[in-house]
Amino acid sequence: MNQPDLNKRPPLIFIGSLIAVYFALSMALLTPPMMTIALRVAEIEPNNKEYVLGLLLGIGAIVAIVANPLAGYFSDRTKSVLGKRKIWMLLGTVVGMAGLWLIAWGNVGVMIVGWCLAQLGFNAVAAAVMALLPDQIPEKFRGTVSGALGMCIPGGMVAGIGLTNFADGNSYLMFLLEPAILLVLVVLLCFVYTDKPASIVDGDKLTLKKIAKDFYFNPLTQLDFTWAFVSRFFFFMALATFFGYQVYFLMDRLGYKPAEIPEVMLKVNMITCAIQILSSFVSGWLSDLMRTRKVFIWISAAVYGVGLLMVGYAADYNSFLLGASVMSCAFGVYLAVDMALVTEVLPDPHNNAAKDLGIFNVAGTLPQTLSPAIAPFFLFLDGGSLPNYNILFTVAAIYAVLGALAIKPVKGVR
């Protein structure tokens, strides 16, 4: 199997297919926790929706924490005839699709099982897809490609919300359209590139002890990687707080009815998506041109905190939209440049890229467990009967500022 030339720009058909898969993955993985699961929970358990949502998202995130690095670890060691990444993308999509079908069909208990399966499958896809960045893309082009991938997240959110509107209340369509699109695009991606063979030669029997040993690393000897991890953890604590509770904010604070949420979210996200796409692409390109990453990351994380404060104290739709727009601009910058930065501080980028990226992605999935678990505490901290979003989003803003501060000690990347 031919190795890709990492001194040349990869073929545009590969880059385009990679972007398309990441776009569809963003739809399939982010639309449920951002909107459709909240709507389904509100339909089944309207009186305890905040707590049920926190439980469901929290348990699913625990699965994601384990699934992403483990899938990356085994992907690095897979010697399938399809290559070491393709089999994980294909099977992961099928498993994730089955999980979302369970959410559309079942009660709360079945929904929890379904979201765990969805997290298991789609995080396996994410581990394999993100490993293609160091596998196939030269370092000098990664900022631009990362910026393009960063644009997929807001684009995927808007498209997912649009498909939810198209579903017109049909639970099966609401949950299954996105993964069906993902499956088609994953198949196409598998046809347009040559997968690198697993290069790890390991004669030891694969045991739990060996896996634990392979995953162990001393954070004090990999300080750049550690600080990048801490920065993403706090930033995603802020992100998970907003995404997890924005639907209920619109319902509880601004008075929208559940049936109105998909249309409102679509309008908001069409505007914020355009802002995020522009900021993501421009910042990724500029970070390559200026040969610097850190300044983009710490400024964007701090600005995201400002946007959270604006949302937390919003009393009407226009104020909410303004704060969400500020956050989207910052999120686009952060995500585009952060993805490029982490590929440059991996402990072992040649042999264990997917596993190392999987460990790093825990910084993004762990907040999905912690944030919904502790959010009700802040929502009702003042002892009132109504949720206090001022407190919740102020705490989230503090998370974002901590994420900005944590990136400054990184020394191996400018």
More confident residue, 325 or 336: 325
Tokens of residue 185, six digits: 């695009």
Cβ atoms 262, 159 nearer than 8 A: no
pLDDT of residue 7: 61
Q: How far, in Å, CA of 279 to CA of 150, rounded?
A: 9
Average pLDDT over residues 324-342: 86
Residue-wise pLDDT tens digits, 345-366: 887 776 677 678 878 878 887 8
Average pLDDT over residues 240-269: 87
User: In the predicted model, is pLDDT for residue 288 greater than 60?
Assistant: yes
pLDDT of residue 1: 40
Residue-wise pLDDT tens digits, 137-168: 887 777 778 778 877 877 888 888 888 888 87
Confidence of residue 2 (pLDDT cuts 50, 70, 90): very low
Beta strands in 175-316 (DSSP E): none
User: In the predicted model, is pLDDT for residue 335 greater than 60?
Assistant: yes
pLDDT of residue 175: 93
pLDDT of residue 227: 92
Please state, as a whole number, how many other Cβ atoms lie within 10 Å of the Cβ of residue 347: 17
Phi-psi region of 168 (alpha: psi -120 to 50; beta: other; left: phi over 0): left
Residues ≥6 apart with Cβ < 8 Å to 66: none
pLDDT of residue 149: 83
Domains annotated for the chain, with CATH where assigned, are 12-197+217-407 (1.20.1250.20)
In Å, the largest CA–CA distance within the chain is: 64
User: In the predicted model, is pLDDT for residue 8 greater than 80?
Assistant: no
